Structure 1
Amino acid sequence: MKKNSIYLIAVLALSFASCSKELDQVNINPNATENAQPDYLLTGAIKNTVDAYWGTTNNMNSSLLFTQQWAKVQYTEEDRFIYSNSSFTSLWSTAFSQSITSFNKIIEIGTATSNPNYTGVGLTLRSWTFLLLTDAYGDIPYSQAGKLNQYITPAYDKQKDVYYGLLADLKTAKTTLDPAGKTIGGDIIYNGNIARWKKLANSLRLRIALRIADREPAKAKQVLDEIKADGDVYISDNTDIAQLIYQISPQQNPVSAQFDTRDDYRISKTIVDKLFSLNDPRLAIYASKTQTVTPQEYVGLPNGLTNSEASNLGFARTSKPGAYFLLPQAPAVIFSYAELLFDRAEAAARGLTTEDAADLYQQAVKASLKQYGISDAATNTYAAQASVQYDATNYKKSIGEQKWLALFGQGLEAWAERRRLDFPQLTASVNTVLNGQIPVRFIYPGTEQSLNLQSYKNAVANQGADLLTTKLWFDVN
């Protein structure tokens, strides 16, 4: 069966699985399958989640702007941080009404059919979904989420408790996953390679350990010690990258789909200037040449312009994102090998492991370039520059700036890392509406105030006002 057909069947299966028990009982269709097959359900749940992660609302219209990787060339309100409590409903609604419900069903099916690999994969993906949510909003429903028969208005868990819960879930996932066990279908990330799923589960544990490291260094070290003691491995080369490689229309990459019909975005001047200053060979991959010939060939657009200012600079004299990112089949990266190496370098720099931070940093820089097919010679020349060398006296700057470059296009993850490491240091446009600040969280969807008011109020009382500028628990500095 062709992948496009599998996608279609998976979306239909997902729609069945997302219904509540009560609706299922009232609206039984004698001509439809009542129990979704796990392979179709897994495919649909992965695609819907990745679409939300990589799509317009949570990536192009927000986090990519906050990190100044992209900028808006028209309808620039979002680039000036003009949002409302209806602006950030996509990630919330998709994750809670579709993704988490479906991953819970996959976990349940794995148990019922004695196939622990469905359970482990479902648990890993559910943990990643919860991580996206808490990184963006802070306190979220976690322990009661997705249990519609028990909790219509689920309580919000504190962010620290969510991170701790996810660490436990991922430890369970990696133990449950068995490369010698039963096969699974519908896996459009690793094609059923369970050994790679174990690597991803451990890599997510490392990511979360660093999320909490400024607040809970002892817990972070405990997690890494456990992984080492168990002899577990992380993502170990570029072939292990967790990513969804899209197909042609209508199952194309959301970025490609956006540019098919609109032309609202350009690559940011901030990142173009940085790539130029480092003689970085990724410039030609991250940015397209200007349509009108310019002396620089690649021209970034300043963030936070007014609509008239952006219009004056023009569409033809500023660079779109690179062709690599505009292809229908462009991958949506969930976790790269470069990120894993930067994470290991930081863990060593913090004294959480005994590895060589400088060496891991060098490997990370090179892995990012190799991810895009840049030659060994060009990679080595780039990494050897004094401006790219690791600074042990300011590891957050070295890792933060190069990680920002490596995470290009991964808006939500780049935004989380920039908040955590405080590098690169970015300056908001004078046209923005937050008095020089850059957003540090998403606003809760307005529907939470009407449908889950008491839980919403408890979350606000715990973490602070429901504003773009309220720092989350993990964001210390």
Structure 2
Amino acid sequence: MKIIKYLSLIALSLMCLSCTKDLTSLNEDPAGFTSLDPAYQLTKIQSSLSGDREDAWRYDLGIASPIVQHLGGSWWTQHGGMYRVVEKSHWYSHWESTYPRELKNIQDILDRTESDPEMVNMNAAARVLRVYMFSRMTDMYGDIPYSEAIKGFTERKFKPKYDRQEDIYADFFNELEKANAAFDVAGKTVGGDMFYNGDVAKWKKFCNSLRLRLGFRLTKINLAEAQKQVERALTNGVMANNSDICMIKHMPINYTADEFRGNGRSQVFKADAISAGFRLVRTLVNYMAEREDPRLHIYGGTYVGDGIVGVSSNVIDISAFIEPLGVSPGAMAWNEFKNYGPVTDDDGNQIEVGHNFKFLQPSKYVSALDAPFFHLSFAEVEFLKAEAAARGWAGATNAQTHFMNGIQASCEMMALYPGAPPIGQSNIDALKAHYLPFPSDFEATMESIHSQMWVNFFLNGAEAYANFRRTGYPKLVPFTSVEWYTSGTDGVIPRRFFYPESEAIQNGKNLQEALGRMGGKNDWLVPVWWDKQ
């Protein structure tokens, strides 16, 4: 009986083991990965940074670009153009997409390549990209989860503290210094890289150019530290020409959920007829037109026809037959309900231009689905060098030379838009002539530099917004009202984005601590740390 009993127990045990093995196999995804090549992750991160239509529509085209008076006209530009909260979730879409997706993936790359000598350049590139993504986040929101962020799986930290922006920036500079030292131009290239096709030397220049940008961010709050970081960046080596631009070349792919290879901003413009309502704002249009800026008709075009620009055959380009007009800051096209009237084309045909077609729309060049997105340009570097020279930093003395180099680089950069005509040198020289004699007064110099920087940042609203808050240029007239609409802030330009309401539930204690440092309210009018008033 004992033998039978033991055999029965053994059989039962084997059955349990078999069941466990079967259950384990059932819980394994045969199509899944136990380890993912960091190159695939990097490609996904880079494409989603500017290929996510839903995020770009909300944080940039609907908020940041209208705040700086680049774009208006659309229903959703009320957020940034009128300083109104139409849908509050738009103000934190970037937070809720970036933390669980791009930042999670970049942290995973860092963790898995940290001790691999073959992946030293991948690790360094990931460090730089992590700083870039976090800098955009903290510049929008202020104090954010940083040092304890993305550590729920690795360290069981599910409720990360909100680091002070001052501490975050200090770590940015440490991380960029480490990355610069780690890059090995003789080592393995950066796999899956859509910015530079793996070119380590160019990644190193991007690293230091980003440090240059972030160093200047501190000029209002800590001038000595700003100078230190700017000079270190210039010593380490920044972008030298347009071939160093940090950009992604998108593919001609229209919107599909979770498909990021097309240009997300362009997908918004092509989501509905007449550029989905988006128009260039009069502030930008007039500034450029008054200076004969040849980039204006690369940025915007006047089109007649109820269709998709660059796609529909019934859309006619009348840019050559009508003066460039921008919509009033904050306004929609129907707020200025007056038809333009007829224009005459080269064949003598008259074309009626209604109120909805008279304003510049994003052009067929910048709204192409395969239009590039510029994360950091050589033109920006030259404008920042001009400011360094104006301040007497890094031994630089000729602000005018760098300023003119910036204009030259920005105009030449326009040829990177698909189908865009090259800008002739005579047109570039005519633009430069509007800034002669170059000002000798510091504030007048700053206004010239950063008004041009603002023009250069078209369709990079987040960076234009950050630079405007730092420098105060261009001198924007705040929105107060148009017909049927008034400002949601009595004409005060917002200084930051709202924290997500979900944080009150998921990370309430740490959120409250951060809010306590800004007066106790989730207030979009309270400046971030470096935006000292």
Normalised by the length of structure 2, the TM-score is 0.80
- Deviation track 1:251-292 (CA, whole Å, cap 9, x = no partner) reads 311122112222121111111111111111111111102428
**Residue 316 in structure 1 maps to residue 332 in structure 2:** no
Once the two structures are overlaid, the 10-residue window that deviates more, 27-36 or 359-368, is 27-36
Q: Counterpart in 1 of 2:329?
A: 303
Contact between 1:349 and 1:392, CA under 8 Å: does it hold in 2?
no
8 Å Cα contact 1:278-1:387 kept in structure 2: no
Q: Is the 8 A contact 1:349 1:357 kept in 2?
A: yes
Aligned length: 452
Query: Which segment drifts farther, 409-418 or 427-436?
Result: 427-436
CA contact (8 A) 2:145 2:160 kept: yes
- Matching residue of 1:466: 522
Alignment of 1:242 onto 2:246: yes
Confirm or deny that 1:88 pairs with 2:143.
no
Checking the alignment, whether the CA contact within 8 Å between 2:389 and 2:399 is kept in structure 1 is yes
Aligned to 2:4: none
Whether the 8 Å CA contact 1:243–1:332 is kept in 2: the answer is yes
Contact 1:52 1:90 in 2 (8 A): no
Q: CA deviation at 1:75?
A: 5.1
**How many Å separate the matches in 1 of 2:507 and 2:494?**
24
Q: Which residue number corresponds to residue 264 of structure 1?
A: 277
Corresponding residue of 1:127: 131
Matched, 1:354 2:395: yes
Which of residues 347, 350, 371 is equivalent to 2:413?
371
Q: 1:335 to 1:291 in 2, by over 3 A?
A: same
Judged with a 3 Å threshold, the aligned counterparts in structure 2 of structure 1 residues 272 and 25 are, in CA distance, closer, same or farther, namely farther
2:160 is the alignment partner of 1:160: no
Answer yes or no: is the 8 Å Cα contact 1:358–1:392 preserved in 2. no
Question: Quick one: which amino acid aligns to residue 402 of structure 2?
Answer: L
Distance across 2 between alignment mates of 1:225 and 1:366:
24
| Alpha carbons of structure 1 residues 322 and 33: separation in structure 2 relative to 1, 3 Å | same
Partner of 2:147: 143
CA-CA distance at 1:108 after TM superposition: 2.4
Distance 1:135 1:272, change over 3 A: same
Note closer, same or farther for the CA distance 1:155–1:148 as it changes in structure 2 (3 Å cut). same
Structure 1 residues 88-97 or 386-395, which shifts more? 386-395
Deviation at 1:77, TM superposition (A): 3.2
Does 2:291 match 1:278?
yes
Match of 1:218 in 2: 224
Show the counterpart of 2:462. 412
Structure 1 residues 85 and 341: alpha-carbon distance in aligned structure 2, compared to 1, 3 A threshold = same
Partner of 2:103 in structure 1? 100
Q: Which residue identity lines up with residue 279 of structure 2 in the other structure?
A: R
The 3 A distance-change label for structure 1 pair 298 and 26 is: farther
Of 139-148 and 54-63, the range deviating more from structure 2: 54-63
Letter in 2 for 1:309: N
1:252 maps to a residue whose letter is G
Change beyond 3 A, Cα 1:49–1:111: same
User: Which residue in the other structure is 1:113 paired with?
Assistant: 116
Partner of residue 9, structure 1: none
Task: Give the aligned partner of residue 44 of structure 2.
Answer: 44
1:176-213 Cα offsets, whole Å, 9 max, x none, are 11111112321011000010000000011111110012
Q: Deviations over 1:119-156 (max 9, x none)?
A: 01111100000000011000011111111133101000
Aligned to 1:426: 476
SS in 2 for 1:440: coil
Q: Deviations over 1:445-474 (max 9, x none)?
A: 111111111111111111333222111111
DSSP-derived class of the 2:466 partner = helix
1:444 aligns with 2:444: no
The residue correspondences of 1:198-213 to structure 2 (distance < 5 A) are 198-213=204-219
> 1:110–1:117: 8 Å Cα contact kept in structure 2?
no
**1:248 counterpart letter in structure 2:** P
Asked if the contact 1:144–1:154 (Cα under 8 Å) also holds between the matched residues in 2, the reply is: yes
Q: What corresponds to 1:16 in structure 2?
A: none
1:376–1:42 Cα change, 3 Å: same
Query: In the alignment, which residue of structure 1 is the partner of 2:308?
Result: none
Residue 221 of structure 1 deviates from its aligned partner by 2.1
Which amino acid counterpart does residue 197 of structure 1 have in structure 2? W
Q: Compare 347-356 and 143-152 and name the one that shifted more.
A: 347-356
1:310-349 deviation digits (Å, cap 9, x = unpaired): 5667322221012221111111110001101111111222
CA contact 1:73–1:311 (8 Å) conserved in 2: no
Does the 8 Å CA contact 2:383/2:402 hold for their aligned counterparts?
yes
Measured against aligned partners, the alpha-carbon deviations of 1:422-467 in whole angstroms (never above 9, x if no partner) come to: 0111122322211111221110111111111111111111133322
Which amino acid in 2 is paired with 1:322? S
CA distance in 2, matches of 1:155, 1:239: 40
Question: For 1:316 and 1:197, how far apart are their aligned partners in 2?
Answer: 43
C-alpha spacing 1:76/1:383, structure 2 compared with 1 (3 Å): closer
Letter aligned with residue 32 of structure 1: G
**Corresponding residue for 1:457?**
512
For 2:63, the equivalent position in structure 1 comes to: 62
Residue deviations 1:87-107 (CA, integer Å, cap 9, x gap): 223211222111111111112
Higher mean alpha-carbon deviation, 243-252 vs 72-81, is at 72-81
The separation in 1 between residues aligned to 2:56 and 2:126, in whole angstroms, is 22
CA offset at residue 392 of structure 1?
A: 3.4
Distance change in 2, residues 1:204/1:277 (3 Å): same
Distance in 2 between the 1:179 and 1:324 partners? 35
1:123–1:170 contact (8 Å) kept in structure 2? yes
Work out whether 1:338 is the aligned partner of 2:348.
no
In structure 2, what is the Cα distance between the partners aligned to 1:389 and 1:287? Answer: 28
Q: Which whole-Å CA distance do the structure 2 matches of 1:212 and 1:442 have between them?
A: 19
Q: 2:294 is matched by which residue type in structure 1?
A: P
Matched, 1:172 2:178: yes
Identity across matched positions, percent: 27
Given residue 167 of structure 1, which amino acid in structure 2 is its aligned partner? Answer: F
Letter in 1 for 2:412: K
Q: Deviations over 1:62-101 (max 9, x none)?
A: 1000000111244553232222542223211222111111
SS in structure 1 at match of 2:270: helix
Within the candidate set 392, 400, 403, 2:441 is matched to 392
What secondary structure does 2:215 align onto? helix
Unmatched 5+ stretches in structure 1: 1-23
5+ residue gaps, structure 2, are 1-23, 255-260, 306-317, 340-354, 415-421
In structure 2, how many angstroms separate the alpha carbons of the residues matched to 1:88 and 1:386? 37
* Aligned CA distance change for structure 1 residues 340 and 181 (closer, same or farther; 3 Å): same
Q: 1:225 to 1:284 in 2, by over 3 A?
A: closer
SS in 2 for 1:261: coil
**CA distance in 1 between partners of 2:25 and 2:425 (Å):** 60
Change in 2 beyond 3 A, CA 1:310/1:26: farther
